Amino acid sequence: MKSYPKSEALYQKAVEYIPGGVSRNTVFHKPHPHYAAEAKGCFVKDVDGTERIDFANNMASLIHGHAHPAIVEAVTEQLKKGTAYTLATEAEVRLAELLHNRVKEFEKIRFVNSGTEAVMAMIKASRAFTGKPKIAKAEGAYHGTYDFAEVSQTSNPFNWGDRNSPNSVALAEGTPQSVLDNVIVFPYNDVERTIAILDSHADELACVIIDPVPHRVGLLEGKHEFIEALHKWTRRNDALLVFDEVVTFRVNYGGAQERYAVKPDLTALGKIIGGGFPVGALAGRADIMEVLDPRQQKLKFPHSGTFSANPITMTAGRVAMELFDQQAVDDLNALTKKAIVQIENVIRLADVPISITGAGSMFRIHFRSAAPQTYREAYQRPAVYAVINELLDYLFYKENLIMINTCACMFSTALTQNEVDRLSQALLNGFRFIRPKLEELYTQHVNYH
């Protein structure tokens, strides 16, 4: 294998100071991570000089790829004027107005610095508004790293329990039992089981949190009847229906929520609305958002943050979202749809037990012949993961492509049909490369469901 001496040397130094050498496990890679030197559009060059096509876009956050000239220009202007003040800025008002005009249900908006913070603020606002302690979330759904949001994020066959009432499983060692007791877990898209589970905690639930296209659950769209049933249940039980659209806001002009007849009470945002800078936001019903309003006689949810709504992020975010207008959304989704059709073709050509799910500008490749319908179906045993990693390494080292480690792609407007063709051809080569390994695996049948 080609060597990457500069990345290797940086990693040797990194492990001296940083646990595992990385500040986010996402970029960890054996034998060593690769270090980026520069990027433009859909291309990223590492410090050893290899250029790759980027289909991950910093985990779905760079909707226009890298270093878009209009964003660079606007941020450069703002940089010269200062990066953060102990004063509010016009930049935050402009981004709030833009998002409000984009989604009328975003009656009020608060900015924070990450999706994790946005989800945390959404949960705390729900508790403050309803006066109730518990939340309900889908098994396998990723909502960032707040204790309560992390529960059952990576449940597995050895701890997930009965599907009629899934266990609340801690992610981090040392998570207090009280956290687990306050998080109710349900199977995504399963109306009957979910409503039965919610019913048994009806008096205590502040909110039901839903990612409308949960990546880790399988990148499956929430079914209309599921979302509508949750909406109805929350109305009946004085609870809130809240959406995590940190990733899925890219799916339509008005986010993934645009396609539903019913709307969430609150929405957590992040990723693309920061134009490439750290961001999060909480948006929704004005009467609920009052819990954050310092003018209230009784402030129910005191909230601050040193870099919240900093003008660099706000400026980059506004320009990025102005550029991501209805036409840009439609064009990007059309390109992604073409990619999915091409990959479905490639799956047939390579004759492999693989399937694909997706929505808007995102898709995920699954190592089973029928697309999964649930988290438990999407779950892959470690032996399959080893083959997935072999495919990802093949794509990274031999084909010079970057994908997300679940074998997912999150497109940017910098991509064109050329890159989609490169991806299809690379996947055909990659599927043929892993085919014998997959065959071997599937002779050892394991049924977890």
Ligand X SMILES: Cc1ncc(COP(=O)(O)O)c(C=O)c1O
Q: Which of 7, 58, 78, 114 binds ligand X (CB under 6 A)?
A: 114
- 119 contacts ligand X (rule: CB under 6 A): yes
Contact track, ligand X, 188-217, x by CB under 6 A? -----------------------x---x--
Distance CA(217)–CA(248), nearest Å, equals 14
Name residue, tokens 């207090």: 176
Q: Return the number of the residue (119 or 407) whose C-beta is nearest ligand X.
A: 119
Q: Would you say 92 or 245 has its CB closer to ligand X?
A: 245
| Interface with ligand X, residue 270, by CB under 6 A | yes
Pairing of strands 43-46, 240-244: unpaired
Stretch that binds ligand X, among 115-123, 155-163, 168-176, 417-425 (CB under 6 A): 115-123
> How many residues lie near ligand X (CB under 6 A)?
14
Q: Is the peptide bond before 31 cis (omega within 30 degrees of 0)?
A: yes
Distance CA 166, CA 178 (A): 17
What DSSP letter does each residue of 62-94 carry, written as one string? -TT-B--HHHHHHHHHHHHH-S--SS--HHHHH
Catalytic machinery residues: 142, 244, 271
Phi-psi region of 251 (alpha: psi -120 to 50; beta: other; left: phi over 0): alpha
Which C-beta is closer to ligand X: that of 289 or that of 408?
A: 408
Closer CB to ligand X, 313 or 424, in the complex: 313
Residue number, nearest CB to ligand X: 115
Task: Name which of residues 57 to 76 contact ligand X (CB under 6 A).
Answer: 59
Q: Does 266 bind ligand X (CB under 6 A)?
A: no
> How long a stretch of residues is the chain?
449
Q: Residue 247 interacts with ligand X (CB under 6 A)?
A: yes
Q: Which strand ranges, in their side-by-side order, compose the sheet holding 51-54?
A: 36-40, 43-46, 51-54, 401-402
In the complex with ligand X, which residue's Cβ is closer, 246 or 320?
246
- Rounded least distance, CB 303 to ligand X, Å: 16
Kindly tell me which of 151 and 434 has the beta carbon lying closer to ligand X: 151
Q: Contact region for ligand X (CB under 6 A) — 2-10, 182-190, 244-252, 317-325?
A: 244-252
- Torsion of the alpha carbons at 34, 4, 400 and 215, rounded to the nearest 10: -20
Q: Which of 216, 209, 295, 292 is nearest to 245 (CA)?
A: 209
- Candidates 34, 137, 143, 366; binder of ligand X (CB under 6 A) is 143
Distance CA 447, CA 398 (A): 33
Query: Which helix (H) or strand (E) is 208 found in, with range?
Result: strand 205-210
Examine residue 144 and tell whether it contacts ligand X (CB under 6 A): yes
Q: Which of 239, 246, 346, 391 binds ligand X (CB under 6 A)?
A: 246
Please give the residue ranges that form the binding site for ligand X (CB under 6 A): 59, 114-116, 119, 142-144, 211, 215, 244, 246-247, 270
